[in-house]
Amino acid sequence: MNVIKMFPVVIILLLLLTAFGLPIVKKKKIVFQISLATIFIAFVMSGVTLNYVTQVGDYLLRIGPYDIPWGITFRIGYIEALMAMLFTGVSLMVGWYGVYSIHKDIEEKHIKYYYLLLHILLASLLGIVFTNDLFNGYVFVEATTLSSCGLIIIKNNKSTSKATFKYLIMSVLGSGLLLMGIAFLYAVTGHLNIGEVHRELVKVAAEKHNIVVISLSLLLVGLGVKGAMFPLHTWLPDAHSSAPSTSSALLSSLVLKAPVVFLIKIMYQVYGLDIIHTTPIFTILLILGLAGMILGSIFAINQKEIKRVIAYSTVAQMGYIFFGMGLGTEMGLMVSLFHVFAHALTKAMLFLCVGSMMEQSGYKYKDEFRGIGKEMPVTLGAFTLGALSMVGIPIFPGFISKWYYSIATINAGQYIFLGFILVSSLLNAVYYFPIVINGYFGKDNVKGKIYRAKYKPVKEVLPLAVLAIAMVMISGYSSTLLEYFKFGLNLK
């Protein structure tokens, strides 16, 4: 049996095994080394898998001794391999950054548990992406929710407790709806394996139209809560802003994305374009996506705490992704997947920058960060790059997304939404640019600040730099990525 084919399973097992091994380790340094080494290996293995897929095509991987339709299978294709690389890569950077900063947010003795949770989170995120079985996906989604709650509450204070509680309640409700949706599908098709469900569903879709709509709606709302789709996003600002910076980075960039990728897979591989077009689901996605795009940014403008600004920005960016899905075309999906990539890298970097600035200065409110550019020029510089990408300045991935979304919108014949896309990018400027401008410029802002006073040592800033470089490289590779997504979707 080809060893490379097993890699996805190996990654997940490796992450889980090391996770449970971490609590026994005594020294903090060893914890970091084991964790980072593991995630790095996972990243490399994902890269090898991607290479394998480009040569051989996508394949099914049987987990355990039982065949379809009783056993669980993984389906590894372009999208899965790329997402695996993204998740492991970003986790690696965040974990690396955490080595230097996590002790500022949580107690020393909890650090190994933090990395334990990180491993479990990463493993379950990968599981969601790889799995070809609906219930298996549900299990992984639950694992994701629980581990991310852990990653928030591990910073023990009142605001995290409140935020986690809110997140937990809403998320569990979402999971419940997800389970119900899956149950409906099982009821009409008798299967849980995605391929099998699709086969049966196509046969019964016409007569069981109501079930189709109900189950799809339940899935949409359930996964929508997890993906912070408007108006189910209300848990996000509290959770992302009170959590430790590394957790915020992971939450915004990865935890929101895996459920959405799962939703995309379900929509296209379980139901299929034709069936969904008989329902109003695409229209709903479009409208809610647009609402998220615009309102997310508008809410961000009014925020006082800097982390909440960025959290609401995430809501807006997820709006783009749902919008792309709602277009109902192949191109819309391709761009949304690309945007998953672009946003993951950019947002992780932004949160790490902000975390860095908050640690060094002790400030929390965006107005307090005036003049920080003089004290921490490189960190704010990376933040500026991220901000430029969010606004959609050319050569950054945000622009590529904006451009392709526009073309996809026109191709789908929905000219009127062009304006929303363009206005939304401009709105981003309203809340991002002042942070940058007040950071670097302004006589009153810069008075009394000493150049590089709060500068972090180079090794601590490296993860940020790597993410920034990766972000710019994504633009360069955007056409390759889009092509890969097209192959991966493989829509007939």
Q: Which is nearer to another protein, 66 or 441 (CB)?
A: 441
Distances (CA, A) of 122 to 38, 88, 252, 384: 11, 7, 14, 28
Count of residues touching another protein (by CB under 8 A) = 31
Q: How far is the CB of 178 from another protein (least distance, A)?
A: 37
How many other β-carbons are positioned within 10 Å of the β-carbon of residue 200?
15
| Binder of another protein out of 23, 190, 280, 442 (CB under 8 A) | 442
Q: How far is the CB of 388 from another protein (least distance, A)?
A: 8
- Say whether residue 407 binds another protein (CB under 8 A): yes
Encoded amino acid at 130, one letter: F
DSSP track, 175-218: HHHHHHHHHHHHHHHS--BHHHHHHHHHHHTTTTHHHHHHHHHH
Please report, as residue ranges, which positions from 136 to 155 form the binding site for another protein (by CB under 8 A): none
Q: Which helix (H) or strand (E) holds 317?
A: helix 306-326
- 328: phi then psi, degrees, rounded to nearest 5: 75, 15
Q: How far is the CB of 79 from another protein (least distance, A)?
A: 20
- Say whether residue 410 binds another protein (CB under 8 A): yes
Q: Which two tokens stand for residue 370?
A: 């005036």
Q: How far is the CB of 445 from another protein (least distance, A)?
A: 8
- The label of the residue with tokens 């929101």 reads 256
For 490, the 3-state DSSP assignment is: coil
Q: How far is the CB of 116 from another protein (least distance, A)?
A: 42
Site string (387-406) toward another protein, x via CB under 8 A: -x--x-xxx----x-xxx-x
| Binder of another protein out of 190, 441, 453, 491 (CB under 8 A) | 441
Q: How far is the CB of 415 from another protein (least distance, A)?
A: 8
Q: Which two tokens stand for residue 397?
A: 């991935």
- Say whether residue 473 binds another protein (CB under 8 A): no
362, burial (CB in 10 Å: exposed 0-12, middle 13-18, buried 19+) = exposed
Q: Which is nearer to another protein, 187 or 410 (CB)?
A: 410
Q: Which helix (H) or strand (E) holds 170?
A: helix 158-189
Q: Which is nearer to another protein, 17 or 423 (CB)?
A: 423
| Binder of another protein out of 37, 162, 476, 491 (CB under 8 A) | 476
For 329, the 3-state DSSP assignment is: coil
> What is the spatial distance between Cα 463 and Cα 478, in angstroms, rounded to a whole number?
22
Q: Which is nearer to another protein, 24 or 416 (CB)?
A: 416
- Say whether residue 301 binds another protein (CB under 8 A): no
Q: Which two tokens stand for residue 5?
A: 């084919």
Q: Which is nearer to another protein, 356 or 425 (CB)?
A: 425
The window from 23-31, 189-197, 329-337, 476-484 that contacts another protein (CB under 8 A) reads 476-484
Taking a C-beta distance cutoff of 8 angstroms, is the pair 132, 75 a contact? yes
Q: Which is nearer to another protein, 297 or 445 (CB)?
A: 445
- Say whether residue 61 binds another protein (CB under 8 A): no
- Say whether residue 236 binds another protein (CB under 8 A): no
| Binder of another protein out of 206, 423, 453, 473 (CB under 8 A) | 423
Q: Which is nearer to another protein, 88 or 478 (CB)?
A: 478
- Say whether residue 478 binds another protein (CB under 8 A): yes
Distances (CA, A) of 214 to 53, 178, 289: 35, 11, 20
- Say whether residue 426 binds another protein (CB under 8 A): yes
Taking a C-beta distance cutoff of 8 angstroms, is the pair 99, 468 a contact? no
- Say whether residue 172 binds another protein (CB under 8 A): no
- Say whether residue 437 binds another protein (CB under 8 A): yes
> What is the spatial distance between Cα 315 and Cα 319, in angstroms, rounded to a whole number?
6
Q: How far is the CB of 429 from another protein (least distance, A)?
A: 6
Which residue from 251, 240, 16 is spatially nearest to 116, judged by alpha carbons? Answer: 16
Q: Which two tokens stand for residue 456?
A: 């972090």
- Say whether residue 408 binds another protein (CB under 8 A): no
- Say whether residue 56 binds another protein (CB under 8 A): no
| Binder of another protein out of 369, 425, 463, 481 (CB under 8 A) | 425
Q: Which is nearer to another protein, 35 or 329 (CB)?
A: 329
Distances (CA, A) of 148 to 85, 134, 140, 213: 20, 21, 12, 30
Q: Which is nearer to another protein, 57 or 442 (CB)?
A: 442
Please report, as residue ranges, which positions from 351 to 390 form the binding site for another protein (by CB under 8 A): 388
Q: Half-sphere exposure of residue 50, counting CA atoms within 13 Å on the CB side?
A: 19
Q: How far is the CB of 450 from another protein (least distance, A)?
A: 16
Taking a C-beta distance cutoff of 8 angstroms, is the pair 302, 284 a contact? no
Q: Supply the DSSP symbol for 449.
A: -
Q: Which two tokens stand for residue 195?
A: 């391929």
Tell me the residue length of the chain. 492
- Say whether residue 342 binds another protein (CB under 8 A): no
Q: Which helix (H) or strand (E) holds 286?
A: helix 281-301
List residues binding another protein (CB under 8 A): 388, 391, 393-395, 400, 402-404, 406-407, 410-411, 418-419, 422-423, 425-426, 429, 433, 437, 441-446, 476, 478-479
